Structure 1
């Protein structure tokens, strides 16, 4: 068996859990940025500055108008996730003309802003909002496969998380910010689990494979030991399928053959190691299962467009470049 250095496994947190692997690789982080209360007649248009934006309804009800769809009623415990939408509207009545968020907002007495004409009404909606930060590899791994609009219901186990997030945001207790960050991360995981359970990924990819219970064992093997020369027979056996059926099924669900998926995953791990560690290209090649540094460099360049060394110099240069001017 090929003896490989340990630093890639340690630095990238490679596990048998592909969802955790992907979230760690793209440095996915859910950030709650604020919230608002709204009551009476109100209609607000939001224009997200982040690619992945979310709104969670902690209390009350409201309407969502987005992505050219019919108005959708949101209730307590619903969370809407917007993937690269230019704008969306939250309102008390879809017939009302929306007001742009900066013009509609009024400061509240606490951490929440106010919308509407009766901010103290008991029947108002309480909404918290945030975004999901990703590094540059997140475009392919998350943005490209998530639906443009995902709405989670209270049945997805979200309400308690929303209540805890709101409580921590309003608290002055020690550690409140840290606690809110952890609840936000759990909220992100719940969102992705809901996409998996519903099979609503927008296109074939790793998320659709992960949603397939028959293919998931093979995916876990490749993530557990990405440097191993996995054969089609081994992967098919893990998924309890014949070799030909497994190959066909994997291609149909993921949009690519198993070997191509494994190659792309190896390159994503290599990108992170080149950004964050001083591991040599030769050591990376060995750890990722390539017979030589040259074969690894060719595979990397085919996927990324530049050699590993050039990629490292470029990303290190960006990290060291002065900001402002």
Structure 2
């Protein structure tokens, strides 16, 4: 739904939760699409996904090998895996087994959960995360190629409960099962990201590591809550209880960019959404994001995105589905 221009100022103020802001901006929606059972010796190749793939191992264990990622990873019962790398991968009970084509397996199956091999000592639930095409780059920058939360890890307690509830929903098939499953899987994404953030000190510099750093969290909250405010480095450093120099150095070490470069990048993400989804004029959008003139905003937008705001808006409207 389009917002009226007079609401633009209120809309530019987001929340005190930068991580939720990013997920909302990307419009990330988790969808449970199915799974399979297996037994004995088996292997299945999943083609390179267009979306982020995920699976929860309900029963048994297997090897996961992502093309180009080196050694295979062992996945055990209760583990949750998210794969954002757009590369084919193989799940197998035995690395020597010849993989079946996953596309054919699911296309020719008469059930939602096809069976591989002999027996039923393995059960996997899987799906994908849908992201608005215009915002897909945001999560691609944020997420690693593989997130693997092991059932034995301290962060897995909630994930184990969510997996149990998903299985219960599909076994009972009560009214509302689709919506309940969607909400449970969405929580799985959030909980997996939380678990990954718990290892923030070992992550490379970037958005994800910044989200898990408690020292710069107060500054991030300010920038996300009021992106249109003319924030100065001194204000942000004070909010984080650091000197100006220490704050600038630490922020760049975890975020990969300076504080004010982060603020500009965030403003431009909001600007892209505004140009795509809202009817406010470019001048109104510029003011809501802290720019004193339309030309200053246009120059910043073109510098970051490579296109002028009016050209970006025209292209976005042309790409919208008709009807």
TM-score under structure 1 normalisation? 0.89
CA distance in 2, matches of 1:114, 1:7: 52
TM-score under structure 2 normalisation? 0.89
Other-structure match for 2:126: 129
1:310 equivalent to 2:307? Answer no
- The alignment covers a number of residue pairs equal to 313
5+ residue gaps, structure 1: none
Q: Which moved more, 1:142-151 or 1:68-77?
A: 68-77
1:152 equivalent to 2:149? Answer yes
Higher helix share: 2
Asked if the contact 1:201–1:207 (Cα under 8 Å) also holds between the matched residues in 2, the reply is no
Alignment of 1:276-315 (within 5 A): 276-315=277-316
Indicate how the Cα distance of structure 1 residues 26 and 271 shifts in structure 2: closer, same or farther if over 3 A, else same: same
Other-structure match for 1:266: 267
RMSD: 2.3
How much has 1:219 moved relative to structure 2? 0.7
Alignment of 1:1-325 (within 5 A): 6-7=7-8, 9-10=10-11, 14-66=14-66, 67-104=68-105, 107=109, 111-118=112-119, 121=120, 124-154=121-151, 155=153, 156=156, 157-199=158-200, 203-321=204-322
Indicate how the Cα distance of structure 1 residues 275 and 29 shifts in structure 2: closer, same or farther if over 3 A, else same: same
Deviations 1:146-190 (A, max 9, x none): 221221122323122122223334443221111111111101111
Q: Which moved more, 1:40-49 or 1:167-176?
A: 167-176
Q: Which moved more, 1:304-313 or 1:260-269?
A: 304-313
5+ residue gaps, structure 2: none
The structure 1 segments of at least 4 consecutive aligned residues displaced by more than 6 Å after TM superposition are none
